[in-house]
Amino acid sequence: MHIPDGFLPIWESILFWIISLIFVAKSIMWAKNNLDEKSVPLFAALAAGIFAIQAMNMPIPWGTSGHMVGSALTAIIFDSPWAGVLMLTLVLIVQGLFFADGGLLAMGANIFNMGIIGGFVGYYVFKALKKSNVALASFLGGWCATFLAAIACAIELAIGGVFPLDKGLMYMGLYHAVIGIIEGVITAIVVSYLSSTKPDLVKSLSTQ
Amino acid sequence: MDNKILIGGLIVAIIIAILAPFLASSNPDGLESTAEKIINEDALHKNLQALGLEEEGTVAPSPMPDYSIEGMGKVGEVIAMIVGTLIMLALAYGVAIVLKKPSSN
């Protein structure tokens, strides 16, 4: 759901850059207070993995495809939605600068949808459900993150006048309800795998 | 142990990066599919004109648009993905090293 330049009016692109930069600044503060030296390799490895898996579009019905985003997974592993914001900001910078995936002006909106909405929704859904079942909580965290990021994207495009609101919500919601399953399954697999083999790496499970 | 995570993660990422050009679906993604069906062409045209773009994309040229290298086909896509994965790893590592909390010792 990378918004290209041209989909949003300039004023709206700038507005979302301003909003997102405030969150990015907070995510930098999070790193300065919480990211310990031991976690640096994990953060970098996760970034490489998320970049690669984002290019792996998987087919869904209706001649459409979708891919993992990864902010929910990052937020769960680092026990903070701010980790997801920082991660997706870096991923979107590389994608936008080197691969024309998502516009540079629209990057603020893309950070807002995939980093901020994705990170916060994914983290708090997981946190609310982790006591019942970690895999299910991870799946639903990932699914809700993708679905609500897409809903936010549809609303932004409706505000800009490029999509009609009703049909935008319907199609974006429908497609991403399915794409969210990809996000949920991969998030659940990675969190389950890490929590069984290297439980100390999944910070939201080792702390209360 | 820490280097193991870095190398292990990089190996997994590179494998995915090499496979992606062959396995990834070329169908439009959810946003592109939605746009094909319902986009307001007048509004899009107005936005593109304001930016001086001919079609939607990005305001600055990218060296490897759409994860490909011009004229190099699948090989170029594999190279683009590997280069991207390494840039991503380096950027994330560098940013994390700079931003990490001061160590206690």
Cα B102 to Cα A31, A81, B97, distances in angstroms: 10, 21, 10
Structure tokens at A69: 């985003």
Assign A72 a pLDDT band (cuts: 50, 70, 90): very high
Instruction: Classify domain A10-201 by CATH architecture.
Output: Orthogonal Bundle (1.10)
pLDDT of residue B105: 46
Contacts A104 to B, Cβ<8 Å: 58-60
> Are the beta carbons of A122 and A84 closer than 8 angstroms?
yes
Q: Best mutation site among B39, B95, B104 for testing chain A: the one with the most A CBs within 10 Å?
A: B95
What is the pLDDT, as a whole number, of residue A34? 95
Residue A130, CA distances (Å) to A78, A116, B40 in order: 15, 21, 42
Q: Which domain holds residue B95?
A: 3-99
Range list of β-strands (E), chain A = 58-60, 64-66
Is the ipTM beyond the 0.85 threshold? yes
Task: Confirm whether B62 is domain-assigned.
Answer: yes
Q: B95 lies in a domain? A: yes
Assess if residue B105 is contained within a domain. Answer: no
Residue B15 makes CB contacts below 8 A (sequence gap 6+) with none
User: Domain residues of chain A, as ranges?
Assistant: 10-201
Q: How far is B87 from chain A (nearest CA, A)?
A: 8
pLDDT in tens, B42-90: 999 999 999 999 999 999 989 999 999 999 999 999 999 999 999 999 9
Rounded Cα distance between A110 and A54, Å, is 14
Q: How many folded domains does chain B comprise?
A: 1
**Integer Cα distance of A73 and A47 in angstroms:** 11
CB < 8 Å from A in window 47-86 of B: 47-48, 50-51, 53, 55-67, 80-81, 83-86
